[in-house]
Amino acid sequence: MPTQITVNGTVHTVDLPGEVPLLWVLRDALNLTGTKYGCGVAACGACTVQMDGEAVRSCQVALEDVTGEITTIEGLGTPDALAVLQQAWVDHQVAQCGYCQSGQIMQAAALL
């Protein structure tokens, strides 16, 4: 059954089962690959996005449970105009390997 979700300010219609994790909706259906698969059990935080400004682990949120606007790392800034938090990450050389950085940034952004 088609479902509408708002991601980064854009309304999308996806035709997927309700139990599909939001992570795979974002990555596979919407091609927003900044959100990463890490552990699949909400422990590592690599899949963190925001739902109405609150940090959530997208690997554990089913499509049918999405109740608000989703913001992914792609929604914080652009490569040419980073969000303040993203620029601070660069300026202070926070990144290590980089794989889970999007989740860390999204978690930090939810606190600001």
Q: What is the mean pLDDT of the chain?
A: 94
Report d(CA 95, CA 102) in Å as an integer: 10
DSSP-assigned letter for residue 74: G
pLDDT band (50, 70, 90) for residue 16: very high
How confident is the model over 32-38, as a mean pLDDT?
A: 96
Per-residue pLDDT at 12: 98
Per-residue pLDDT at 30: 99
- pLDDT of 97 > 90? The answer is no
pLDDT tens-digit series, residues 43-76:
999 999 999 999 999 999 999 999 999 999 999 9
User: Are the C-beta atoms of residues 100 and 107 closer than 8 Å to each other?
Assistant: no
For the question of whether the overall pTM of this predicted structure is more than 0.85, the answer is yes
Per-residue pLDDT at 14: 98
Phi and psi at residue 23, to the nearest 5°: -50, -45
Q: Domains of the chain by range and CATH? A: 2-111 (3.10.20.30)
Question: Of all residues in the chain, what percent carry a pLDDT higher than 70?
Answer: 100
